[in-house]
C-alpha cells in the first residue's frame, strides 16, 4: 500500500523545472492542480501531463474547469462551456432539454480535458445562488436545491461517460454569504436546520453520485466556530455520518484568506494542512505558491513530512484509496479521435 499522499500542489510554468520534478517525487505529493499559466496550447499541455505521469503515474492531474468564467483552458479548439446559470435558465424553459444539455456539458468538459492528459476537474458547483455572492454568482445552477441537484447529477453523468470523477463544492454552501473567502473569512449565521434544508440538501441527495467534495472556507458559528473545511463536526459527523457521503474530501486552497486564520489564530500552510487532515479532509490544496522559487511549497512538503514523523497527523490508508479512486479507470480518446466521435459530436449540438 502506497503511503498516503495528501498534498495537491502546483507548478510554475509550461513545462517541468528541476524543482517541480523534485516536488513531484516527494512521497506526500498526491496531485497537481493546473492554471491558465500552465497552458499554451493542446500540444504543450499534453506534453506537460505526459512529463508528470512519467515521474509518477499515480499523480492526480487536476484543474478548475467549470465553464463560464472559471475555465482555465479556452483556446486551440477547446469548447467554451457556458456558466452553470445558463443551464438553470434553460431549465425554466424546458426541464428535459436542460438535463440533456448538462450531461452534454459534462461529457465535453471531461472528454476534452482527458484528451489533453488531465485526470480531474473540480466541478460541479453545488452552491445556491441567492444573488448576493459575487464569487459564486453565475457559477451556480440556481437558487432551488432540487434544480441544482438534478442539473448537477446530469452534468456528473456526462463526466462519468468521459471517464472523469466529480467534485461537489463548496460544502455546506458558499452562496448565502457576500464575502469572498479568497480575501476574507465569510460568516454564515444561519442555523444548522436552515442550512441542511437548503444549501446542504444536494450533498445528501447526491451521496450515491458524488466522488469527492470540497468544503467552504466559511464559518457557520451556530454549528462550529471553525470554518467547515477545518471542522470535524461538519466533515465527519454531518457530511459523512448524517448525509451519507463516502467519497474523497479536498480542502479548498490553503492560501486563501479563509484558511489562514483558524480559531482566531493565524496559521502557517503546514498548520492549516494538518488541521484540515485531522478534521477529516483526505487531501489539501496549496495553489499559486510555486511561482518564483516556490519556497512555500517546499516548506509545506518538509513541514508535513516532519509533522507525520511527530504524529501530528496520520497517513490513512482509506484516504489514499479515496485519492486513487479519482484516477480515470478507462483510456482516454485522443483529440483527433474525439473530434469525430459520435457521442462527442452529438453532445456539442446540445450545449447552450
2 within a domain of the structure (yes/no): no
What are the Cα distances from residue 157, in Å, to 64, 94, 126, 162, 327?
18, 19, 15, 9, 17
Model pLDDT, residue 183: 58
pLDDT of 185: 80
Give the Cα separation of 252 and 339 in Å (integer).
Answer: 34
Alpha-carbon distance 48 to 13, whole Å?
10
Helix axis angle, 84-93 to 145-162, nearest 10°: 120
Average pLDDT over all residues of the chain: 94
Annotated ligand binding at 174? The verdict is no
Strand 224-227 and strand 219-220: pairing? antiparallel
How far is C-alpha 259 from the chain's CA centre?
Answer: 16
37 in any annotated domain: yes
Residue among 41, 144, 180, 182 flagged as catalytic: 182
User: Is residue 72 annotated as involved in ligand binding?
Assistant: yes
Active-site annotation holds for 346: no
pLDDT higher than threshold 60 for residue 211: yes
Q: Is 170 annotated as a binding residue?
A: yes
CA quadruple 9, 57, 36, 109: dihedral, nearest 10:
-120
pLDDT in tens, 49-87: 999 999 999 999 999 999 999 999 999 999 999 999 999
Whether residue 41 lies in the annotated active site: no
For 247-282, how does the pLDDT look when each residue is reduced to its tens digit (9 = 90+)?
999 998 898 765 677 777 788 999 999 999 999 999
341 is written with which cell numbers? 466521435
Burial of 331 (0-12, 13-18, 19+ CB in 10 A): exposed
- The number of distinct structural domains making up the chain is 1
Share of residues in the chain with pLDDT > 90 (%): 88
> CA–CA distance from 318 to each of 6, 157, 314 (Å)?
12, 25, 11
Mean pLDDT of 288-313: 94
- Would you say residue 1 lies in a domain? no
CA 184, 222, 273, 286 torsion: positive or negative? negative
Predicted pLDDT at 177: 86
**For residue 258, what pLDDT is reported?**
59
Q: How far apart are CA 47 and CA 325, in angstroms?
A: 24
Residue 43 CB neighbours (<10 A):
11
With cut-offs at 50, 70 and 90, classify the pLDDT of residue 1. Answer: very low
Among 49, 336, 69, 352, CA closest to 344? 336
- Whether residue 9 is contained in a domain is answered as no
What residues make up the domain containing 49? 16-349
Query: Could you tell me the CATH number of the domain that includes residue 80?
Result: 3.20.20.300
Question: Does the annotation list 139 as a binding residue?
Answer: yes
pLDDT digits (tens, 9 = 90+) for 136-172: 999 999 999 999 999 999 999 999 999 999 999 999 9
Inside any domain, residue 4: no
Note the pTM of the prediction, 2 decimals.
0.95
In a domain, 7, yes or no: no
| Domain assignment of residue 57, yes or no | yes
The count of other CB atoms within 10 Å of the CB of residue 291 is 14
- pLDDT score at 64: 95
Residue 42 lies in a domain: yes
Amino acid at each position: 500500500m502506497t503511503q498516503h499522499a495528501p498534498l495537491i500542489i502546483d507548478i510554475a510554468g509550461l513545462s517541468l523545472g528541476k524543482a517541480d520534478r523534485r516536488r513531484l517525487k516527494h512521497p506526500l505529493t498526491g496531485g497537481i492542480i493546473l492554471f491558465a499559466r500552465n497552458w499554451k496550447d493542446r500540444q504543450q499541455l499534453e506534453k506537460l501531463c505526459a512529463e508528470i505521469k512519467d515521474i509518477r503515474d499515480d499523480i492526480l492531474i487536476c484543474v478548475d474547469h467549470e465553464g463560464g468564467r472559471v475555465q482555465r483552458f479556452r483556446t486551440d479548439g477547446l469548447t467554451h462551456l457556458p456558466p452553470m446559470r445558463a443551464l438553470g435558465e434553460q431549465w425554466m424553459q424546458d426541464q428535459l432539454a436542460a438535463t440533456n444539455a448538462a450531461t452534454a456539458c459534462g461529457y465535453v468538459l471531461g472528454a476534452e480535458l482527458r484528451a489533453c492528459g488531465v485526470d480531474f476537474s473540480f466541478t460541479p458547483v453545488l452552491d445556491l445562488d441567492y444573488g448576493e455572492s459575487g464569487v459564486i454568482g453565475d457559477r451556480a445552477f440556481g437558487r432551488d436545491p432540487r434544480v441544482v441537484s438534478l442539473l448537477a447529477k446530469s452534468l456528473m453523468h456526462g463526466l462519468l461517460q468521459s471517464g472523469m470523477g466529480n467534485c461537489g463544492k463548496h460544502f455546506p454552501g458558499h452562496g448565502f454569504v457576500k464575502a469572498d473567502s479568497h480575501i476574507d473569512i465569510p460568516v454564515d449565521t444561519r442555523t444548522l436546520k436552515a442550512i441542511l434544508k437548503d444549501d446542504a440538501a444536494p450533498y445528501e441527495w447526491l451521496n450515491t453520485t458524488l466522488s469527492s467534495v470540497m468544503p467552504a472556507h466559511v464559518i457557520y458559528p451556530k454549528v462550529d466556530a471553525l470554518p467547515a473545511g477545518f471542522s470535524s463536526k461538519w466533515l465527519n459527523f454531518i457530511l459523512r455520518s448524517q448525509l451519507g457521503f463516502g467519497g474523497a474530501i479536498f480542502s479548498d486552497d490553503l492560501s486563501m484568506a479563509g484558511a489562514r486564520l483558524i480559531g482566531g489564530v493565524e496559521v502557517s500552510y503546514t498548520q492549516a494542512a494538518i488541521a484540515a487532515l485531522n478534521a477529516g479532509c483526505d487531501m489539501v490544496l496549496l495553489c499559486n505558491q510555486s511561482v518564483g522559487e516556490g519556497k512555500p511549497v517546499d516548506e509545506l512538503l518538509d513541514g508535513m513530512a516532519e509533522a507525520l514523523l511527530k504524529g501530528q497527523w496520520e497517513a490513512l490508508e482509506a484516504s489514499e484509496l479515496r485519492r486513487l479512486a479519482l484516477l480515470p479507470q478507462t483510456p482516454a480518446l485522443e483529440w483527433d479521435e474525439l473530434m469525430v466521435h459520435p457521442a462527442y459530436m452529438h453532445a456539442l449540438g446540445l450545449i447552450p
